[in-house]
Amino acid sequence: MKSIIFFGFLISALFNQAFAQAFDYENRVASYQVPLPSIHTIQINKTPENTFYFKPFLSLEYSAPSISGGGSNVDFKTSHRLSGQVREFQNLAVGGHFRVQKYLGLNLNWQQTEMDNTSLYGIGGLARQANFKMSHYNLSALIFAPVVENTFEIFAELGVADMNSKIDYVKANGDFVSAKSHETKPLIGGGAQINFNQTSTIRISFQKYSGNLALMHSNYSTFRIGYLRAF
């Protein structure tokens, strides 16, 4: 009887010891574990739509020029087909676009325009067609309106252009005439762009420059189509 009681006491002591070790191990392991977050502490970070950021793009656009209005020299046209203009680096705009907010971007680019005319009003006949060249820097702000989120958006454009232009021609009597002009003009425009991914964008736009050009006495506008690459 004493042996049975002793044996029962020994089993009880061993069981209590094992339970105490298991409880201590569980507490020690739990102390090293990171507790799972409560549903009340989970947060999803969102970037506010009006947050300032900076995303730069390089831009290359073909810029088809147009001379119109009530001026005296409205028949200037491009002298080459599109492939020839690109080869001669005519009527191209290169620069940068800087997206600083979801609805706001800035454009800074340089554009070169070249056009020819076989006759000039008030000059008479020409021994050689008139050639008009202009280079100008554009600085403009673009206000965007998303149509398809992160994919397709339209925009309005407002800016200013610093223009240097030159016209050369030879009169029928052989006299060579060359004139230059420098002027600054405001511009307005608009367009649309398709964002294929985070780095590639196709843009189509139109710009109209205020007032008549000094050498042309006519209105000047451009239609652009080009590619933007983020970096």
Residues 6+ apart with CB under 8 A from 110: 93, 94, 95, 135, 136, 137, 138
Per-residue pLDDT band at 165 (split at 50, 70, 90): very high
Determine whether 150 is exposed, middle or buried from the number of CB atoms within 10 Å of its CB (0-12, 13-18, 19+): exposed
pLDDT of the residue at 127: 84
pLDDT of the residue at 140: 98
Q: Does residue 14 register a pLDDT over 50?
A: no
Phi, psi of 142 (to 5 degrees): -115, 130
pLDDT of the residue at 154: 98
Residue ranges in the chain assigned as alpha helix (H): 2-32, 82-87
pTM of the model: 0.72
pLDDT of the residue at 36: 56
CATH architecture classification, 55-230:
Beta Barrel (2.40)
- Structure-token pair, residue 42: 């989970």
Q: Which of 52-78 are b and which e, b meaning 16 or more Cβ less than 10 Å from the residue's Cβ?
A: eeeeebebebbbbbbbeeebebbebeb
- Residue given tokens 């005296």 in the structure block: 72
- Structure-token pair, residue 60: 């290359």
